[in-house]
Homo-oligomer: A and B are copies of this chain.
Amino acid sequence: MDKVFIKFPVRIALLGCGTVGGGVIRLIEENREYLQSRVGAQLEIVHVLVRDMEKDRVPECRREWITTDPDVALGDDVDVVVEVMGGEEPARSYFERAIERGKCIVTANKLLLAKHGPELVERAIERGVDLAFEASVGGGIPVIRTLREALTSDWVETVHAILNGTNNYILTRMRDAGVSFETALAEAQAKGYAESDPTLDVSGHDAMQKLVVLSMLAFGAKVPLSDVPVEGITEIDQLDFHFADRFGYTIKHLAIGRDEGERLSLRVHPALIPKSSVLANIDGVLNGVFLRGRALGPCLLVGQGAGDMPTAVSVVADIVDVARSKIEGEPGLSTRAIQMKVRPLVPPSETTARYYLRFDVDDAPGVLGRIASILGEQGVSIEQMMQEGRALDAGAPVPVLIITHECLEGRLGLALSAISREQFLRGKPRLLRIEEI
Contact = CB atoms under 8 A, between A and B. Distances in A.
Interface string A380-401: 0000000000000000000000
A37 B31 CA distance: 32
Interface string A325-357: 001111001101101000000000000000000
A151 B145 CA distance: 12
Contacts of A280: 281
Contacts of A300: 288, 300-303
B299 A307 contact: no
Interface string A352-387: 000000000000000000000000000000000000
A276 interface: yes
A153 B27 contact: yes
A60 interface: no
Contacts of A141: 299
Interface string A292-321: 010111111111100101101110110011
A142 interface: yes
A337 to B, nearest CB: 5
A281 B299 CA distance: 14
A45 interface: no
A417 B310 CA distance: 45
B297 A149 contact: no
Contact of A316 (B152, B281, B288): B152
Interface residues of A, number: 62
Contacts of A38: 152, 333-334, 337
A23 B320 contact: no
Contacts of A307: 297
Contacts of A330: 40, 324, 327-328
Given A300-B301, A320-B149, A320-B152, A336 B37 contact: yes
Contacts of A145: 142, 145-146, 149-150
A91 B286 CA distance: 42
A276 B281 contact: yes
Interface in A194-223: none
A281 B34 CA distance: 36
B302 A298 contact: yes
A188 interface: no
A236 interface: no
A267 B307 CA distance: 31
Interface in A136-154: 140-142, 145-146, 149-154
A402 B202 CA distance: 44
B297 A150 contact: no
Contact of A297 (B35, B277, B282, B303): B303
A40 B336 CA distance: 10
A146 B277 CA distance: 24
A134 interface: yes
Interface of A: 23, 27-28, 30-31, 34-35, 37-38, 40, 134, 140-142, 145-146, 149-154, 276-278, 280-283, 286, 288, 293, 295-304, 307, 309-310, 312-314, 316-317, 320-321, 324, 327-330, 333-334, 336-337, 339
